[in-house]
Every structure is written in C-alpha cells, then in structure tokens.
Structure 1
C-alpha cells in the first residue's frame, strides 16, 4: 500500500502541472490583443455620453406623445347674481337670482395649432436623434484617438529599442579600443552618453505608455492590456469619393438638418396663432329652496383681429430665425466639404511620406549608421557614427509622428458617416 501511494504522488503532481499549463495557455489565448475595432465597440457601449443622448431621445418621445392634446378641463366654483347693496346685501336668500354654481370649462385650440405642436414635437425627436448620431461619431473618433495614442507609443518603443543593442555594442567597442591603446577616453564617454540618452528616451516612452493607457482606460473602464500589433490605416471603410459626395449624411451635418426642421416647425406654430381658438363651458347653478336651479352653457372664441403687431410679428421673427438657420446650414455644409477634402488630401499625403520613410529614408539611415560603426571598429573616428546615430533617432521619431498624423486623419474620416449607413 505504501508503495502504491508513493507512485501515485508523482502522477498527481504531473497531472496538476499539465492542468496548470493548460489553464495558463487558455488564459493567454482568452486575452487576445485589443484591436481598434474592439476598443471602439467596447468604449461605445460604456460611454456615458451615449446614455445621456438615449435619455434625451426618450424625453423627446414622451413629450411628443402629449403634443397636440387638448388642455386639461377646468373645474369652476362660484356665486352668481350675489347682491352687494341694500336691500338684501350679502344675503344668499334675499334675491331669487342668486345661485351657487359649479361648472367645467374646456379650451379647444385650433386644429392648426395642435398640428403645429405635433410637428414641433416630431422635429425635436429628429433633433435628439441627430444629436445621438453626432455624439456617437464623436465618441468613436475619440476612442480611436485614444487607441492610436497607445499604439503610437508602442511603435516608438519598438523603433527606439531596436537601436539599443547597437548603442551597447558601440560602448563595448570604444572601451575595447581604449584598453588596447587605440581609442580615446573622449570616445568612450561619448558612446556611454549616447547610450544613456537612448535610455532616457525609452524611459520617457514608458511614461507616455502609462499615460496613453490611462486615456484608453477612460473609455474602456478597465486596463486595455496588449494592443494589436498592426492596423492598416491606408484603407478607409468607405470610398473617398463617397465621403465628398455624401456631405449631408455625415454626422456633423445631421444636427443642422434637425435644427432646420425645428425652425420650420416653430414658424408653422407661429402661423397657426392666427387661427382662432375655442372654449366651451357649462355650469350648474343652485338657487334658494323653492326656486328652480339653472344651467348655463357658453362657447367662446378668440378674436385675432389685431395681428399686425402681435401674430404677424411672431411670424416674421420665426421666419427670420428659419432663414438664419438655413444660411448657417449652408455655411456648415461648405465648411464640412472643405474639411473633408483637406483631410483626405493630408491623409493621402502622409501615406506617401510613410511609404518613402519605409522604402528609402529608414533603410538609408540604418545603412549609414552600420557603415559608420563598422568604420569606427576598423579604426576610424567615432563622430560619424554619433552623427548618423542621432540622425537616425530623429528620423525614426519623425516616422512615428507621421504614423500618428496618418492614423488620426484616418480616424477623423472613418467615422464621419453614421454606423447604420457605413457599408
């Protein structure tokens, strides 16, 4: 029995190790790198701005449900034909016409006024929907910018870390030449200073990485973890020609269309004020004992007779406001077309510059640094390598800035059209 127990323990330990390894592999597979699309979807689902815009839409629909309804009836109480002078002053029984009354009155706005109120409520629903679309576009772009910031810092880290081994090699070569009596202490110190400067840059990038992750966490609600290594920013989700032609469908312009609808609905409501409103009232009067009770019915109608300085002024004001909104809408349309055209041109320009960086500038800088370091190893001066090294670092950082500008322009163009109309 003792031998069987001793043989089982290694088996159990082995199974535990295998199980633990399998769980670790599964956990790492479950934590897939965060892509830009996934970040936008997660952030959009958790954005408080979208909850606020949804609440605005609910409020507008609730208001529209009661628009155009008749006002609440009014219950009235009072005295009719109550004497206040002699004979019989302040007596409920001295005059047979005195009656205690109870009644109800109902105001009936004109049909045009109620229709205009319903149209205005419908325009407010459209305005709330347009605000939701504009907010969604803004949130998607801001989340993409946050992801791009974190992605850019990672690209900077890779570009600079790729030079660390060469800098350390230059330090070793300078020290070896110094020990061999061929080099100088100045060269050794310069090589060490260059390595320290690179380490400083990497430390700054590490701090920027934490800051960028905090910015992305602001949208995701949780730490973002690892990001997807690559993202193709050279292709837009919609054709560039469609972005220029579909200006009115873009999210920033939808808000203007809704404002124009609101201005038109307000004008219709002002015009409806020229139509008379009606009212109906009925009351029951109870008189002294022995006298018959009485019923009174009344129908009232408003008389918009002096419209020149009343309703007509309101119509003129509303029409001027509508014209102003239409003019501002046209100006916003032109500005949006200009902004889209400029962004497309800049995005395409950065794409060409990035291609030149990759195909020409970066390889040339790398070759220059390699040749300069090889020359120093063969007995040449250190300064050519230092110059080539610094030029290459600045070039790589410029390349990272180009990637950032290209990616941010992509984000500003990719989310212009609402998600429901994006193919």
Structure 2
C-alpha cells in the first residue's frame, strides 16, 4: 500500500529560515498540511456534531408546576372551600415515534463525514502546494539557465564590439546592435521570470506562513495508479468512487436519507405523561381533608397532514435526490478531470522523451557548430546568436515540460487519492528527490 500522506513521509529536519533559508518541496507540503486551520475547524465541527448526537437522543426536560388552585376570592382562606389546594405537578413529553434515535443517527452520520472531508482537504492542499512550489521552481531554474548563458552573450557582445572596432574584423555595426539587443532581451526575460517567482512564492505564503524563498531539488513523483494503460471508463469510475470527496457525499446522502425517516415520525402522536399532588387544608370544623393525586396522559392527533407532515416528507425526499445528483455531478467531473490529466501526461511523456533523446542534443550541436563557425569566419554573427537563443529556449521548454509533468501528476494523485481504512487519511504519492 502506498504511503498514507506526504505529510508523514516528509519529516521536517529543519524549519524554513534555518540553514540556507530555502523551503523544499517536502517541507512546503508538510507545513501546509500541518498548519491548515480548515482541518482544525473540521475537528471542532466533528466534536460539536458528536455532542449534538448525544443531546438529540435525550428526552425533553420535564416541566414542574406549582399551582395554588381554587382560592376563594372573598376571604382567600386556604381551608374555607374543599376545592382549594396547593398542587405540585410534573409533566414529561415523549417525542414522536423513533425521532430521538433517528436524530442521533443523523448527527452521528454528519460527524462521520468530517474525517472524509479532512482526507479530501489534505489531498487537495498537497496538490495545490505542490503546484505552487513547482511554479516557483520553474521560474527559479529558468533564471539560472538564462544567467548561465548571459555570460556567453556578454562575450559575444565584447567580441562583436572588438571586431567592429578592428579594421580587419568581420563584425559589422548591425552585429553589435544585435548582440546588445539580445542581451537587453535576456535582461527583460530575467525580470519577468523574477516576477513570476515572486508571485508563486507569495501565493505559496498563503499556505506556508513566512515561507521565504523556495529551494531544493526537483522531486520525483509518480501517479498512485498507472494511468498510461487503456482502461475502460467504468474502471476509472469505480476507482473514483473511493475518492474521499465522493465518500463524504455518500455519507451526506445517508444522513439526508435519515431525514426521510425522521419526517415520517411526524405522522405519529407525541405523548405526554402528567402527575400532580394536591395538598388541601383543614375544613372549617378543623377536620383534615384528604390530599389529591392526579395522573394522566396526553397526545396530539396529526390529522391535518396535507400542508405540514406531507410537505416535510416530500422536502426530505427532494433533498435526498438533490444530494444524489450532487454526487453524480462530482463523479462526472472527477472522471473528466482524470481523463484529461491522463492524456496530458501521456503527451508530456512523449515530448519529454523527444527533448531528452533528440531535440536538446541537436540544439546543443547546432549552437556549438554555429559558434565555432563564427569564430572561424565560416558563418555570420546572426546565425550564431540565433542558434544560441534557440538552444536556451529549448532548455527552458524542456524544464517547463518537466515541471508541467509533475504538476499533472500532483493533480492526478489528488484525483486518485483514497482513504485507507486503518488511517482515515488519503493515500498520496511520496516525493523523492533526484
């Protein structure tokens, strides 16, 4: 079985801000999941629902009555009339049918939904933070690639200026201008990439407070389930039915369906038990009067149900059907997202292999040949610059493919997340560094 969560797999050996003050991929995910306030709120909600379930199963509080009855208004003498008495009574109501047990069951079902929602939240946060970290990584590595080639372009500018200044040089004024223009464009690209990196890190700070700059190697992620094979849609549908978000909706459907049974209890009478003890005074002759005890039951008659009980029941049935529709829509959405991400991963793997095996080596050979030809007076300056720019763009494209592939895998692993029975947490893929 796959590891329970990336949070558990990535123990924090040092907090961000320590050592090199760089936030690694594993640290970002671990901190974001551990410090997510939504999870704390869900735990409080679960505890509240559990307490409400206990309270819902209890009888209503009994009502106590203390009454002075039938006092004569002419003298207010306690012993003047035989009907005069002090009465103490207690009244206990019993809710309709099995409504107490059903109310408790419904609250317990809603409480059982919270761990599934937390499992979905952990998987969602893992995917979100992974993609934000990868965005920052892409910008940072692109900056390093450009800065690495910038020194070569500075040399080309110097060579073009020196060749133009020399009477025997082959460089022309357009070559000098072209070299300086490309250097300026590189500076502009660096500025845009730094802007991208700053934006990604600021968005990451929403999940990881005081994160600082990102750092570390590119993680190695693989899908939880092989997605390159041609499975029928029914297999993916069954796979996604175990997603924590879907399971949470299943529990919600059960809770709403319990509301149907609860609505049916409204057709049953509500019972009440009443007992009272009446204390009477002495009669005018000084003889004791017998105290009185009263006991009885009461119940209502739900006879006119057309606009109350019938409507309450039909509303509960409609609410259940609406929740089932919500689950169908969620499953349809998840299946579509999974199929789209799966196809994207297949194409990205193809492009990745093409870049690694053919395009990057060919671009490198072309750039080296063009530069050597320029220095040996076998090609012009523009061709050498174009070849070098093309190689740099190919490196950045290859980096974008690597990052986009990992972002797609992070999304896939959210879609493929499940809830192991022994942990109650979603299974997500462990990241290992290259």
TM-score range, shorter chain: 0.7 to 0.9
Q: 2:11 is matched with which residue?
A: none
Alpha-carbon distance in 1 for matches of 2:197, 2:323: 45
Alpha carbons of structure 1 residues 161 and 32: separation in structure 2 relative to 1, 3 Å = same
Query: 5 Å matches for 1:101-120?
Result: 101-120=87-106
Alpha-carbon distance in 1 for matches of 2:217, 2:350: 21
Q: Which has the higher contact order (CA 8 A, sep 6+)?
A: 2
Q: 1:66 is matched with which residue?
A: 55
Please state if 1:251 is matched with 2:229. no
Q: 1:358 is matched with which residue?
A: 356
2:137/2:214 contact within 8 Å kept? no
Alpha-carbon distance in 2 for matches of 1:136, 1:212: 20
Moved more, 189-198 or 29-38: 29-38
Q: 2:32 is matched with which residue?
A: 43
Which of 140, 145, 149 is equivalent to 1:163? 149
Q: 2:400 is matched with which residue?
A: 401
DSSP 3-state at the match of 2:272: strand
Shift of 1:92: 5.6
Which of 135, 145, 158 is equivalent to 1:172? 158
Please state if 1:285 is matched with 2:278. yes
DSSP 3-state at the match of 1:369: helix
Shift of 1:227: 2.4
Please list every run of 5 or more consecutive structure 1 residues that lacks an aligned counterpart in the other structure. Answer: 1-27
Q: 2:256 is matched with which residue?
A: 263
Alpha-carbon distance in 2 for matches of 1:90, 1:133: 71
Q: 2:130 is matched with which residue?
A: 144
Please state if 1:193 is matched with 2:181. yes
Q: 1:325 is matched with which residue?
A: 323
What RMSD in Å do the two structures reach over aligned CA positions? 2.9
More helix by share: 1
Q: 1:410 is matched with which residue?
A: 409
Moved more, 103-112 or 198-207: 198-207
Alpha carbons of structure 1 residues 399 and 138: separation in structure 2 relative to 1, 3 Å = same
Please state if 1:422 is matched with 2:427. yes
Query: TM-score, normalized by length of structure 1?
Result: 0.83
- Could you list the structure 1 runs, at least 4 aligned residues long, displaced by more than 4 angstroms after superposition: 28-35, 88-94, 241-244
Q: 2:265 is matched with which residue?
A: 272
Query: TM-score, normalized by length of structure 2?
Result: 0.81
Number of residue pairs the alignment of both structures matches: 393
1:127/1:258 contact within 8 Å kept? yes
Alpha-carbon distance in 2 for matches of 1:415, 1:165: 42
Q: 2:190 is matched with which residue?
A: 202
Alpha-carbon distance in 2 for matches of 1:102, 1:377: 113
Alpha carbons of structure 1 residues 345 and 151: separation in structure 2 relative to 1, 3 Å = same
DSSP 3-state at the match of 2:387: helix
Alpha carbons of structure 1 residues 359 and 91: separation in structure 2 relative to 1, 3 Å = farther
Alpha carbons of structure 1 residues 29 and 223: separation in structure 2 relative to 1, 3 Å = closer
Q: 2:82 is matched with which residue?
A: 96
